[in-house]
Amino acid sequence: MPRPPRGTAPFLVASVLLLGAAVFPGTLARFVDAPDVTGNMFQTRACFGSHVVSGSYVGNAVDNRAITGVGLAPDLVIVKSRTTGAATSRTSTMVGDVSKPLVGATGLNTNRIQSLDANGFTIGTNNTVNSTGVTYSFVAFKSCAGTMSVGAYTGNGAASRALTGLGFSPDYVLVLPANGNAVVQRGTGMPASYRFDQTAAGANDVLSLDADGFTVGNDTEVNQNTIAYHYVAWNAAPGQVSIGSYTGNGVDNRAITTPGFSPEWTVVRRATNGNNPCDRAAHRTSDLVGDNTLNFANAATFADGIQALQATGFQVGTNCQVNTNASTYYFAAFNDF
């Protein structure tokens, strides 16, 4: 079944990355490779169907509202209004009516992303996901063996703790605490873990990306004793997931072609240690039209950021969140896999 064209259908336009089925703490969802027949040739593929979809819908403040037609049963969904309100996330390891803001000192909340469903997700009435007349962008992921995994663990406070069993060496990891500690990200090339807001990098969060998982320190954002943590991990793969960096030059309409594909979702975060709004992470989904970029923070879309998703990557403008001269920027770009 072909995927819908980008930039259409405000309720379902999808480009959702979905991560695997629900898992128990410390374990990961798995999918078994199956043969695929192409002509007279047999090939082995780990994933079938869409695994990354982005789209949009207009809020109506109706509780228990199902956003359907996404085309997959997601393991991760991220929703962000095009006005104010922080980005909200939910993984398939979260149980009950809970979801996690991607910025701020807030624990798992109710009445946001209430559940992940067979063909989409259900939302409540909170204004971060369903205010009347507000347009929301979303990205949904479905996990896939060797490319994307979701899991959960309980913190033990150890100074160095290896989390294994992913089945691949991750290039990009998110850790989402169940309590009021902030979400952190770490990708290949990053010297430390970064939040999605403008807070300085953390020195003792995700310590390393390893052969079969990742190692966390004892910072409360990743390993506080008895606290539950959820995580998502991706493996870089040509044409599917690209993790990298570039040095800003302040030039408008600059093409970043490193990904080599047209992304469904792209995240950019400046590598600085100040408390400057320029250090907020920015992102763009394929449903956005025109020169518009989403914040993760409680802020509206802005211009001159990630201006477009292009055939071989993405285009940045002159905004300091994406292209200040001589600043280093890290990016994560995701295509269907």
Q: CA nearest 57: which of 139, 2, 114, 115?
A: 139
H helices of 162-290, in order, are 220-223
Q: Do 266 and 196 have their domain in common?
A: no
User: Between these two residues, 203 and 129, which has the higher pLDDT value?
Assistant: 129
Report the amino acid identity of residue 251: V
pLDDT, residue 217, reads 98
pLDDT over 90, % of the chain: 81
Boundary of a domain, candidates 234, 260, 286: 234
Q: Do 271 and 218 have their domain in common?
A: no
Q: Which residues pair with 232 in a beta bridge?
A: 150, 174
Average pLDDT, the chain: 88
What are the start-end ranges of the E strands in 190-303? Answer: 194-195, 206-210, 213-216, 228-234, 241-247, 254-256, 265-270, 282-285, 294-295
pLDDT, residue 312, reads 98
Give, as one character, the DSSP assignment of residue 36.
E
Is the pLDDT score of 50 beyond 70? yes
Helix (H, G, I), strand (E, B) or coil at 270: strand
pLDDT, residue 275, reads 75
Q: Specify whether the CB–CB gap between 320 and 282 falls below 8 A.
A: no
For the stretch 256-315, pLDDT in tens is: 999 999 999 999 999 986 678 999 999 999 999 999 999 999 999 999 999 999 999 999
Is 270 within the bounds of a domain? yes
Q: Do 156 and 185 have their domain in common?
A: yes
Q: Do 221 and 257 have their domain in common?
A: no
Is 105 within the bounds of a domain? no
247 is in which domain, residue-wise?
242-334
pLDDT, residue 272, reads 81
For the stretch 204-214, pLDDT in tens is: 999 999 999 99
CB within 8 Å of 38: residues ≥ 6 apart: none
Is the pLDDT score of 198 beyond 50? yes
Rounded to a whole number of angstroms, the CA Rg of the chain reads 18
For the stretch 131-183, pLDDT in tens is: 999 999 999 999 999 999 999 999 999 999 999 999 999 999 999 999 999 99
- Plot region of 304 (φ>0 → left; ψ -120 to 50 → alpha; else → beta): left
Q: Do 221 and 263 have their domain in common?
A: no
pLDDT, residue 46, reads 55
Helix (H, G, I), strand (E, B) or coil at 87: coil
Q: How confident is the model at residue 22 (pLDDT cuts 50, 70, 90)?
A: very low
Q: DSSP states of 33-47 as a string?
A: -EEEEETTEEEEES-
Q: Do 250 and 326 have their domain in common?
A: yes
Q: Distance between CA atoms of 188 and 133, rounded to whole angstroms?
A: 39
For the stretch 214-233, pLDDT in tens is: 999 999 999 999 999 999 99
Is 60 within the bounds of a domain? no
| End-to-end CA, the chain | 15
**What is the number of domains present in the chain?**
2
Mean pLDDT of 68-77: 97
Q: How confident is the model at residue 202 (pLDDT cuts 50, 70, 90)?
A: confident
Q: Specify whether the CB–CB gap between 285 and 245 falls below 8 A.
A: no
Q: Do 217 and 255 have their domain in common?
A: no
Rounded to two decimals, the pTM is: 0.86
Structure tokens at 117: 């469903």
Q: Specify whether the CB–CB gap between 3 and 71 falls below 8 A.
A: yes
Q: Do 228 and 260 have their domain in common?
A: no
Q: Distance between CA atoms of 146 and 166, rounded to whole angstroms?
A: 8
Q: Distance between CA atoms of 240 and 78, rounded to whole angstroms?
A: 19
Give, as one character, the DSSP assignment of residue 293.
B
Boundary of a domain, candidates 234, 269, 303: 234
Residue 16 phi, psi (nearest 5)? -105, 130
Q: Do 230 and 156 have their domain in common?
A: yes
Q: Do 216 and 251 have their domain in common?
A: no
Q: Distance between CA atoms of 75 and 128, rounded to whole angstroms?
A: 20
181-196 CB burial, b ≥16 within 10 A, e <16:
bbbbbbbbebebbbbb
For the stretch 274-290, pLDDT in tens is: 678 999 999 999 999 99
Q: Do 247 and 330 have their domain in common?
A: yes
* Pairing between β-strand 184-187 and β-strand 194-195 as defined by DSSP bridges: antiparallel
Q: Distance between CA atoms of 186 and 221, rounded to whole angstroms?
A: 13
Q: Which residues pair with 88 in a beta bridge?
A: 79, 101
Is 248 within the bounds of a domain? yes
Q: Do 298 and 328 have their domain in common?
A: yes
Boundary of a domain, candidates 197, 216, 234: 234
Is 8 within the bounds of a domain? no
Is 195 within the bounds of a domain? yes
